[in-house]
Homo-oligomer: A and B are copies of this chain.
């Protein structure tokens, strides 16, 4: 039921005109599963509604009405019309209506319903373990030891796993992962994160006091945006985000009531970032809001590009000149596949640009346990590093975080292992390296495979997947289909799901230049499955194109 509800009532009204349009020519089929419950409130029959208008509270709101069986029945306190309006504006396509329909299709298949496919393949979300990627053994050994310290006397566990577990437990109150950590995160973990950053950035110093452990990267990003929003009307805070973007950003800005300032990545140049486009977007935005921050995702989500060092320098210079707070989402820092591409952290480049920049430009950068070779999304581990933040604001940040007490301690422990993995000479080192290398090289193969196969299809054109975990190919949708559906890419993806069982996310969920259409597809399915998936996409696209030509 909830899936049906979703599909039709994700927007404000259960069945708005916009939704009907969006459904396109197949609307009658798609709506077949919608029950009456989502169309009328269970408490309000039509006669009730008439009655309810007769009785009002002192504030003019409908209060009570007599139902048909004579019982007093009350209008809801919390309705779509009286709820927080900013929440209604939030959209998050990665888990939107298509995914809800995919879950429903899975259920229908399991109930024996006949479909043109035997399995739903979810290529909508960067959820590596769900797609079969195996966890790093060492990480899980340490987590088991921390969960149940009796295992410390078990001789089958390697000594380095035990010593790592002891050091984590020693940093926990009462030596238990069940105690709260400091709000900013366990101190020894923050120290390990700082040392990791120093190694990664070739010795650029990192102060553990600038590290905040978070509940996944999302938590850190939302928290930073929360600090930045202020103002009303023409002085309302604006935040620059790339288009295409990861919809966490648009969702958070909508909820916080901030202005989303779009800058477009250059699809023709491998989704690169042009400073002239940043300038255009900023200059236009200054007319109606107060631009305060610039968000960058590198390697890119959903677009998979890896930024060059020069480009990062330009962005930093731009932020300095235009007085923008920089937010660098670097959760894919280990996911770089293309030859000639390399990950450069914003922090490192900033410090190499000299004190004029390194002592002034305000930067927050984000990392997570969910991506890279770990893919440990479920643990919700992450950190952010803040550079050049005003001391008073920092105190406010720490205070704000104290209200939510602390990030999950198992996620903190996992983050510690990611930044402090087995070292050469330790018993777990070889196995760790073998597992990490295997995962990353498989991902690199799949990135290449995806690009290659998609580019063989007429009407699909795919930039190289230089990094991250997604392809974001451009698709040509025939005029006839464009005319029939309000959101042609949503229509395309929904049709693909219904006909092939493949769950993708339409480009409109990430943003795209008007008149262009895309989808995001993860490269995470096992190689054999990915080949099947790519073939099916190919077949579907040809069929779809024929049908609407």
Contacts and interface: CB of A to CB of B under 8 A. Distances in A.
A362 B78 contact: yes
A251 interface: yes
A38 to B, nearest CB: 6
A323 B61 CA distance: 10
A469 to B, nearest CB: 13
A353 B393 CA distance: 50
Interface stretch (A402-410, A426-434, A515-523): A402-410
Contact of A410 (B38, B405, B410): B410
Given A6-B398, A84-B229, A74 B360 contact: yes
A526 to B, nearest CB: 10
A181 B74 CA distance: 35
Nearest to A389: B78
How many identical chains are in the complex? 2
A272 to B, nearest CB: 25
A57 interface: yes
A391 B402 CA distance: 33
Given A78-B362, A148-B143, A92 B403 contact: yes
A393 B147 CA distance: 38
Interface in A40-95: 41-43, 57-59, 61, 63, 71-80, 82-85, 87-88, 90-92, 94-95
Contact of A130 (B173, B222, B388): B173
Contacts of A405: 95, 216, 218, 377, 380
A84 B226 contact: yes
A380 B408 contact: yes
Interface in A349-398: 355-356, 359-362, 374-380, 388-396, 398
A72 B72 CA distance: 71
20 contacts: A6-B399, A41-B390, A72-B356, A74-B361, A77-B323, A78-B362, A80-B396, A82-B292, A84-B229, A88-B396, A92-B399, A125-B180, A127-B179, A130-B174, A143-B147, A147-B147, A178-B378, A247-B403, A378-B408, A380-B408
Contact of A395 (B9, B222, B375): B9
A103 B48 CA distance: 60
Contacts of A177: 378-379
B402 A95 contact: yes
A430 B266 CA distance: 65
Interface stretch (A112-120, A133-141, A331-339): A133-141
A181 to B, nearest CB: 7
Given A90-B403, A226-B84, A130 B79 contact: no
Closest 3 CB pairs of A and B: A130-B173, A378-B409, A144-B148
A193 B545 CA distance: 48
Contacts of A9: 391-392, 395
Contacts of A143: 147-148
A292 B78 contact: yes
A411 interface: yes
A2 B87 contact: no
A2 B375 contact: no
A5 interface: yes
A280 to B, nearest CB: 16
Interface residues of A, number: 132
Interface string A99-122: 000010000000000000000000
A10 interface: yes
A325 interface: yes
A248 interface: yes
Contacts of A395: 2, 5-6, 9-10
A305 interface: no
Interface in A200-223: 209, 215-216, 218-219, 222
A90 B180 contact: no
Given A147-B143, A148-B144, A377-B179, A362 B77 contact: yes
A131 interface: yes
Nearest to A235: B59
Contacts of A73: 359-360
A148 B414 CA distance: 13
A400 B90 contact: yes
Contacts of A248: 403
A226 to B, nearest CB: 6
Contacts of A176: 129-130, 135, 378
Interface string A411-422: 100000000000
Nearest to A409: B378
